[in-house]
Structure formats: structure tokens, C-alpha cells
Structure 1
């Protein structure tokens, strides 16, 4: 009986063995990515139990937060599991719906902050002209600017003088002021405040006027990395870790890696109009999936939620360029507002309010289904007596190779705005139609039709057709114009081709509406690089008409001049332009500064080449300074120096700097250069053997350490006429002394010196 009982117990144990839990230590992978090593599981049939929540540290952390206690990883919702016995791995594959979308930025933003320096500058442009008949004119255009953390103060004026043996009118002679203002740019909020002279903002249907007062305006240029217009976000998904490539019109925009799950690529395509994106996803198994997306980029739209505004309060400017201080007395206000209510629709509003006049208008630009941009606008303007309407319709469509545009604007004669108070002529109807096509072989063709119908005056209709072709080194262009009202045709033909490596010739033939044909032949030599000379000469075939001009641009100014003879008019001219800058307690001369600049310091060393974006722009002067002009504000610029021409005994701490200057300001770039006064010193012990490699040396009680190399060679800098060197190696110390005489562009070898090491 007892034997039967033992047999039953043994049979029960054997039969139940396959059903009992087994302890395993496995590596866990989630959608092909290892998430943890050697996790303890209890394995029972197709179930893998664990007390450890391995998903908490993955991208499924939100999903894992709802799991608690002992987790069966092969019974989770939306997750499949597979056990690999040979590698002792548990593979978990989650459905894409569980993964959060990952945003990938396809472009890097600069962390540079705009530099706002303190100083002042003067841009000048002097122009002298001598006419036939003994009349000479002299003009001196001046632009004064002060800048700092307070913003920018600027005024522009022109001084004119007439010289003649005959009695001449004094009109426009003397000094005439143009614009004066104070402006503060708020880069953080992309806006600026101006007090002084200004030009009002405009919309597609409203006119601009000159004013004086206060302006508060959005200025997206203060942050060039901000994209104001809508652009596509490329969306995809990957079950496994994958490589993603995105091509726009066959040009690669992005290449990188993505983790499992959906992804969104945030990258601005540098194109305009209709385009096709190809998204290729290749997972770790080599399987590739490709899909295409069509989209339309319209820079004249605003992204959803983006505001654009321009508010002006003040009085009208009158007789600009003739009188320095001529302003109306009645106050007025002009405001423009645009807002992107969606990526496809942008709304705009324009308002003008004066003493006896007001004007209100609204419009929209929208793009649906990638068919182009449609513009609609309407405005009503009224003064004390009359009022009228204006309407506008526009359409624009562009692809990589062709585009079309249409604009129709019509208004009533009674329509009023601020411009009508300045006696600016109005048009009853304006029509503009354009079309162009570019072939892959460098050929471009286009046509335009224009209608201008004023209330008072002759209606004009013009049809224009153009053709251009670029060859390897030459270009050909032709145009044909037909004036419907005059029933007249004119055409032009231009050919440009090189003559060697530095010269270029042009031939231009034109026929005007009267039937007169002129053929012009010209040859010119362009400036090579940022500085140097240039010249040009041209003549009209069959006549004695000709002109010759030339110029030289140096580091401090640009000079030009020439003479001409056109039959009934002949003479000569001379011009000089440049800038005087005071900044960083430094006074420098340079070429005209339209926007930003940089003062480069080369540590007092002269004739050091200065390079901007890999282009040589000049050399430092005898004080080791150079003024870099022509910089674009709020754009990172790489400025470097060419160290290959420096003497051997020159130490260069850095040779490349990236800067970003604010509008109207300058940046100081300091390159740390100094003469090393160096020598290679040979040090031996009393037995003639080299001092051990790695021995530490200090010179003239300085803290900077130097190290002995092979064969007892010790490279030392900042030597003086008399030098004392202390060498240490462990507990051993020795001292040597020697004299040094510096020689230009030379690093001498001194010694050998005997260093009798003693233990301390």
C-alpha cells in the first residue's frame, strides 16, 4: 500500500513539472531597442511575469505608469511578446498608437546673442559733376548715426552747390535734411519703436505716405531664425529604429535616425511654391518604405497665431527732399494688422484716420488644396464731402519651373485716403498678368500684360515678352514690348560673354517705339575680391557717343570717376564715398556701412589677412586693426585670420570667431596674437645624457609649466634677455640660466646646457 502511495506521489510530481513556473533572467527589447539587461521573470507556459516595471524608463512611460504589481508582459494590451531561447531575450513589440510623437528639428538654431556696441559713425558720399556749358554741381550726402544699448539715433542730409558763370536758380542749393529718428529694436519680441521721420506701413491695396511721429511695428528680421510663414511638418512612423531621409524636389532636406513610433520633422524647406516631398524610412532590418507628400509654401501668408502689425501716429511730411522741415499741422493715424487664423488663411486690416478723412479696409490671403494664393480686399474712404470704394483681386501660383500671377484693382473716383490729400494721382483700374517658365537647360521665358487706366489721362496697355539663356560662361537675353495705345513696338537684344579671365564684353541692341535703332558695345573689368580696381567703357555704334568710367576700392574708401560724350551733352564726374567710425574707443576709416560692421583686432600685429566667410577682405593696419563693413545684421558671420603668413614666432590662441551684430551696430573681434620670443633649449645632465622626458620646467618665476621632450629638448616661450629655468623630476631639481636675443621669424636652438640635478 505504501509503495502504491509513493508511486502516485511520484507520478503527480512528474506530470505537474511542465506546468510549474521557471525563473529566467532575460534581456528585454522594445521594438528592437534594448531597454534593460537581466530582468528576472517567472516563466509559465506563454506567460512572463515580473515584479519590475521595465517600461517606465522608455518612451511608453505614460502607458507603464498604469501598470502595478506583478506584470505579465505577454498579456499586455497592444503589446506582443516573443521569447528567443537561444539568446535569452524577450522581445516586446508595441503598436504605434502607444508611442508619443517625437519631434525632430531638422535645422540648428544659433545660440548667439546680437552684439550692441556703443559708438558713432558717418557715412559720406561726395559727387562732383561738370556739364557742358560750364555748369558744375557738388553734392555731399551725409548719414550720421549714433548707437548703443539705448538704440540708434540717425539723421540723413545732402549738401548741394551749383557753380556757373551764368545766373542760376538757388533752388535745392544748400543743406537739405531728409530723415531724422531715434529707433529701438526689441529683438526678444521682434518689434521696434521709432520716434521721428518714417514711412507708413502698407498693405496690398493701401498706399504709403511719409510722416513724422511715433511708429510701433513688428519686424521679423530681428530674429532671422523665426519663420513667419507656414511650412509643412513631415509626419511618419517607424515600428523599429529607422533611418529617415526626406527629399524636396529630389534635393535632400534631412537625413537622420528616429526611434520607434510616430515622428514629426520640423524643418523649413528653402523653396517657394508647389513642391513634392519624398519620405524614405529604412528600419534596422533593411526594409525601406517610401511615400510622397505634395505641399505649397507661400511666404506672403502668416503661420497660425502669428501677428504682424504697424501703427503710426503723427503728422504728414511735405515736400520731402526739397524742404528740411515741412510738416502738416493736422494729426493722423495709420495702422496695419495681419493675423494668421490658420496656416491656410491670413486676415489683414488697414485703417487711416485724419482730421477730415478716414479710410477702412480689410483683406485676406488664403491657400486651399495647394492651388496657389488668392487675395481679396475691399476698402472704403471718405472725406467731409465724398466717399468711395476700392476692390482688389489677386492670384499667385508657382512651381519649381513655372509660375503665374494676376492682379486686378479698381476704385471709384470718389475713393479717399491720406494719399489723396497729397495730390497723388489715382487710377481707376490696374491690371497685371505675369507668366514665366524656366527650362532645365538654362532657358527662361515669360510674358506680362499691364493695363493702367487713370481717371485723368490716357489709358496705357503694354504687352511684354522676354527670353533669356545662360551658357557656361555667356548669357543671352531678348525682350519685345508692344504698346497698344501707341500701336508701337520696341525690342532689345543683349549678349554678354567673357574676354579672358578678368574681362567681359556686352553688346546691346535696342529699337524704341519711334523705330530708332541703337547698338551699344561695352567692355568692363570687374573688381577681384573685396578691394581693387574696376573700369568700364562703352560706345554707341554709328555715332560719336561714348563713356569711360573706373574706380578703386581700398580699405578706407572707394573712389570713382569718368567722362562721357553723348552729342548734345558731355562732361565728367568724380565720386568718393566711405565711412568714419568711432567705436570701442577706436577711430577708423572704412567703406560705407549700410547695416552692421565689425572691428577686428590682431593683437597689435600689422598686415594680418582678415577673412570673412572664406573671402579675403583686407589686412590689419599698423595698429593691428581692420574695419569690416558690409555685414548683415542678426546673421551669424564667421570672421577669421590667415595664420599661414604670420612669423614662426607668433602664437595664435584662436583664428576663427563667429559673431552676430545688431542692426546699425558693430562688434569687436579680438584675435589673441603675440610674439612668442621662443627658443628650443637642449638640456643634459653632467654626464651628457638628455634630461628625462616629462620633466617639468618653469621660467623666470612664472607658474606656466613647460615639459621636456625627447633628447632633452625643451620648448620655451616668453623669453627675456636673461632667463632662469627651474627643472624638476620627482625629488630631483636643477637650475640653468642663459641669455636670449630675439630675431624676427626665427626660433633658435640653444644649448646644450648642463643641469646638475640635486635631490630635495
Structure 2
């Protein structure tokens, strides 16, 4: 019997109440004294469990899938089925059935009764390797094609102040289906007025065919097939050839989400589930979750050049580990085991843009590139036609974090030496001339009767180096050829290659990235007749207020007295209107002022216009209007020297 009395401290109870309470307490004490007159028996010890079956959650290196698995406890040891252990990346050394976990080498076991978990710690090498960043590429959707016919055209009418009125229409017909597409393009010229050409003969209306071909692309294998007219692919140390025939080539453009060059890679190990953050040159590039175990970070593929990466791993309790590594990414290399190729078989096309179908003898051109490692890409090139055979090898090498080195060597053997200077046809191949660089056609414009050789064999060697970083970029390249060296383009077109060419370029932002970019260039071309063209170039560009910008350049041909220069400002005015103004100087010291304004026609339809004026010795003016609709684009305007302005409409 037990009676509890509640006494409130500080409360004054009546005297009779307090007396009764004392008697009650004495009575209670006597009752309890009688019940516990002797000591109770000692408590019995809990029974020792030597064999039991537990249902626990398995935790391996801090990671669990949440599933409850049977665990046998026997003689102070834990036994788990081999299949359960293997599923959780625990190596069982080929054992089957129940396995004593403590006996596995490298495994530590702990039982957490409160969480009902069996905690295992295994070597990090047992856990699966994680590739972090590979899933950041764009989703790939297989292209679909229906059957249809496309007719494309661009018609141009001109009415010069002096000369014949004419209409020139560029046309393309394209038939497409899931079997590829067939395309034909060309230009028809119609002379409204009868005029005479060279020799007094009348200029004839004519159709000039450009290209006719069938092309099919295999997106699974990244291969394109083309039958008809095409331009063969080339390496940095070889030339392309315009041919007619069959071309089979690797086409990485079919999958723009694929990155063909080696990416930034970092390997590490996470002891517990963590988060990894990647910072490139101080800017956060990505954040990913990690499981326990080794991982490889291959993230942010769209970078090029040198930089610094900082990798920060953070575990569940906030502990961080930071690692900084330098890197260099070069898009001139191929990833390990990746290959690229182009095989072209047919005939070299001649007089393109002059005649409809003038082809030489049968010819072959092929290139191949292979990523032997992430630091070495090998390349090969071969050409052949009747009377000519050529072969060459090259390599692109990553020099650690110090840039990329490129080198190559080629050998040619022909039935006849390069054509004599008097036989060179200077107008057969006209290469585009880039402002500020030596004229690429200068190597075929030589005095008559000089440098005739009887050498039928020749060689070419190239050496190049490039380095890009956020601070500056530098590149240098040399190409050297002996007098007897010929390739497919020169052998079939009566042109000759230059003897030697050197070029070096440098760009930097010495005043900070917000204060413009400075560029320097040096170019030296030694033509076939040993004449030199040496040129230096200086340029500077920077952003001004808003979206406006400025550009200045200076070109100097060494050995000449003159120089050319240009200063230009571009100022957006809003509503897609921009204003440009500048000043130009030619080698003879004549200056020309330039001013213009334009408004781009909206892509979804609407009106656009363009106004331009150049003052000085060769005054020039232009005005045109563009109107875009869903069916056609119409353009009309006037242009030409001041006082002699023809009109044109398209």
C-alpha cells in the first residue's frame, strides 16, 4: 500500500490538518517497513544472444539504398548473402551463400542498434567510378525528313550609268527525302542590251552551272556520303581540291552536342556522399552531387586554352576540401581513340565559275586523324592523279599546360616538274585576299622566263605552335617547300606554290579586359621566284558606352614607303538601327571618310535599309531598301562612284 501526499511549500495548513497528515505518514511508514523487512533478490542477468536473425539496412561507406536485408548474427559475427553484398559493391572473392563479413579483407563492420543499420567500410577502389559532367550535353534527337522539293532563287537587275543592263539569277533546285537530298545550283545571266565582249563578239546569254550532287548523312555512324561535285577536306598543312566524284567523310557536325577534343579532367575520391563544385578562372561553372567512391570530373567542354580550375568538395556536415589545378584545352586535338577521315575519289574540277563541266584526269585525295591519346593526335594525307603521287604525316602534341605543337612532313613525286613561269595561267585560281595579310595570289604572278626547274620530286615541312589563355594568345607557323614540290591543286591547274611562308600573331588585353584588345601580326611569304612580301599589322579594338565599339588598324609592307590605316566607330541607336563612321588611308597617302547607317530587316518580316557614303579621292555612295516577307526578300537601291550611279534590284 502506498499513499502519496501533496504538500504545497509556503502554504499554511490548519493545525488539525497537519496533525492528521503526520499520523497518516507514520501509518504508511509502518506498512512499508513490514513489506520490505529484507533485501530483494539480485536482478537476473539478461540472456546472451549468440544466434539471431536481424533485418537491417546495409550502409556502405556512408551510402545506403534504403532496402532492409536479412542479417544472420552467429557467434559474435555477422553473415550476409553474397548477392546482397555484391549488389552493394562489396567484393566477396567468389564466395557464395552466407558470408562472414568480418572475414572479408579490407572490410570493417559496425552494428548500430538504434538506427537498425549494419555499417560497412570498404576500400574506395571497390566503389563504382563516377563520371561527373558527361550528362551535361544537349539531348540528342534523331533528325526526321519528309519528301519535298525546294526551289531557291536570287535575281539581280542592274542598270549601270555606262554599259549594258542585265539580269542575273542564281537558282537552286533541291529534292529531299529520307534517302538524302539532290541539289543543283547555277546562275543564268540575261543581257537586255546587246554589247560586245573581248574581240568585238557579242556577249551571249548563258547558264553557268555551279554544283550538282546527292548527299546522305548517317547520324548513327556520323558519316556523310556525297556523289557529284564537292570540295575535299584538308588538314592545316594540306590544300583542299574541288572535285567531282564520290566523297565519304566523318561528319561531326551531325551531332553538335559531341565534343571531339579532350576535355578538362580531374580525378578524386569522396569518402562520404558529397557535393562537388567546379570553378573556372574564379567563376562557378557547375555543381554536382557525388556518391562515395572515386570520381572523374569532365565538365564544361566549351572552353579553349589555358586556365585554372578549383574543385571544392563538401560533405553532409559542411566540411570542405579545395583543390586547384592548372589546365590547357586545345580544340586542335582529338579525344583518345576518336578518329576523323575524308576519302575523295573522282576528278579535279577546273575553271569553276567559268565553265559548266571541265574536269581533269581521275584523282584521289584522303586524310585521316586519330587521337592516340588525349595529348597526341596523329594525321596522314595522300593525293594521287595521273603523273602525281603525294603522301605526308603530321602530329599535334599538347605540351602540358604550355600550348600545342604541330608538325608535318610531305613528299611528292610527279612525271613532270612544275610548269615554267611563262606557262602559268594566273587567272585560273584566285584565292580570297584577307585585308592586312599578304596577297595569296602573289606566288603565281612572277616575271616571265624565271625559275624554270627540272625537279620532279619535292618536299614540304611545317612547324607550328599556339598558346591561348585569358591573358594573351600567341601563335607562330612556318611552311617550307622545295622547288619540285607539287600537290593536286597546283599540278592540275598550272599554278605554283610559294617556297616559304612565316607568320606570327599575338593578342592581349594589357589594360584589362574592359579596356580593349591589342593585336600584332607578322607575315612573310617567299614566292616561287624567291621574291618576298613582308607585312606587319597592328590592331586595337574596345567596347565603348552601351553597345558601341571602336576599331583601329595599321598595316605596313616592309620595304615600301607607304602604309595603310583604318579607324572605325560603330554606334547602335536602338530599334535595330546602327551608325558607323570612320577614316581610311591607303598606301599612297590618300584619305577617305566613311559614314553609314543601317537598319536590319526583321527575320520574321518587315522593312530594312542601308545608307553609305565615302568621301575623298574615290567618292562612293550607296542606298538600298530591303523588304522581307514569308515568301520572298526584295531589295532595291543605287550604288557607285559619285556622279556615276547605277541602279540595282534583287
Coarse TM-score class (shorter-chain normalised) = 0.7 to 0.9
1:379 aligns with 2:410: yes
In structure 1, the residue matched to 2:330 is 298
Distance (Å, rounded) in 2 between the aligned partners of 1:416 and 1:542: 45
1:209 aligns with 2:241: yes
What pairs with 1:27-46 in structure 2 (closer than 5 Å)? Answer: 27-34=57-64, 35-37=66-68, 39-42=70-73
SS of equivalent residue, structure 2 residue 165: strand
User: Cα 1:202–1:79, aligned 2, differ >3 Å: closer, same or farther?
Assistant: same
The Cα of 1:17 is off from its aligned counterpart by 7.0
Which structure would you say has the larger Rg? 2
1:161 aligns with 2:190: yes
Could you report, residue by residue, the CA deviation over 1:217-255 in whole angstroms, capped at 9, with x for unpaired residues? 111112223322222333222111112222333344432
Distance (Å, rounded) in 2 between the aligned partners of 1:379 and 1:54: 60
In structure 1, the residue matched to 2:154 is 125
Distance (Å, rounded) in 1 between the aligned partners of 2:367 and 2:562: 42
What pairs with 1:207-606 in structure 2 (closer than 5 Å)? Answer: 207-328=239-360, 330-385=361-416, 386-421=456-491, 422-438=493-509, 439-441=512-514, 443-456=516-529, 458-471=531-544, 472-541=546-615, 545-567=620-642, 569-575=644-650
Distance (Å, rounded) in 2 between the aligned partners of 1:151 and 1:18: 79
What CA RMSD, in Å, does the superposition of the two structures yield over aligned residues? 2.8
Distance (Å, rounded) in 2 between the aligned partners of 1:247 and 1:43: 51
Distance (Å, rounded) in 1 between the aligned partners of 2:190 and 2:266: 62
User: Cα 1:403–1:172, aligned 2, differ >3 Å: closer, same or farther?
Assistant: farther
Distance (Å, rounded) in 2 between the aligned partners of 1:211 and 1:298: 31
Could you report, residue by residue, the CA deviation over 1:363-409 in whole angstroms, capped at 9, with x for unpaired residues? 11111312211111111112124111111111111113421111100
SS of equivalent residue, structure 1 residue 317: strand
Distance (Å, rounded) in 2 between the aligned partners of 1:473 and 1:103: 41
SS of equivalent residue, structure 1 residue 420: helix
The Cα of 1:410 is off from its aligned counterpart by 0.9
User: Cα 1:379–1:70, aligned 2, differ >3 Å: closer, same or farther?
Assistant: closer
Distance (Å, rounded) in 2 between the aligned partners of 1:382 and 1:509: 50
Q: Which runs of 5+ in 2 are unaligned?
A: 1-41, 417-455
Distance (Å, rounded) in 2 between the aligned partners of 1:15 and 1:433: 90
SS of equivalent residue, structure 1 residue 270: coil
Could you report, residue by residue, the CA deviation over 1:290-309 in whole angstroms, capped at 9, with x for unpaired residues? 21232222222112222211
Distance (Å, rounded) in 1 between the aligned partners of 2:160 and 2:530: 35
User: Cα 1:370–1:542, aligned 2, differ >3 Å: closer, same or farther?
Assistant: closer
Distance (Å, rounded) in 1 between the aligned partners of 2:80 and 2:576: 79
Distance (Å, rounded) in 1 between the aligned partners of 2:178 and 2:529: 51
Q: 1:114 aligns with which of 143, 149, 154?
A: 143
Q: 2:125 aligns with which of 70, 94, 97?
A: 97
Q: Higher strand share goes to which structure?
A: 1
The Cα of 1:335 is off from its aligned counterpart by 1.4
Distance (Å, rounded) in 1 between the aligned partners of 2:160 and 2:126: 82
Distance (Å, rounded) in 1 between the aligned partners of 2:399 and 2:204: 53
Could you report, residue by residue, the CA deviation over 1:325-364 in whole angstroms, capped at 9, with x for unpaired residues? 2222x22211111111112111111111111111111111
SS of equivalent residue, structure 1 residue 135: coil
The Cα of 1:106 is off from its aligned counterpart by 3.2
The Cα of 1:200 is off from its aligned counterpart by 2.2
Distance (Å, rounded) in 1 between the aligned partners of 2:54 and 2:225: 70
In structure 1, the residue matched to 2:420 is none
CA contact (8 A) 1:431 1:450 kept: yes
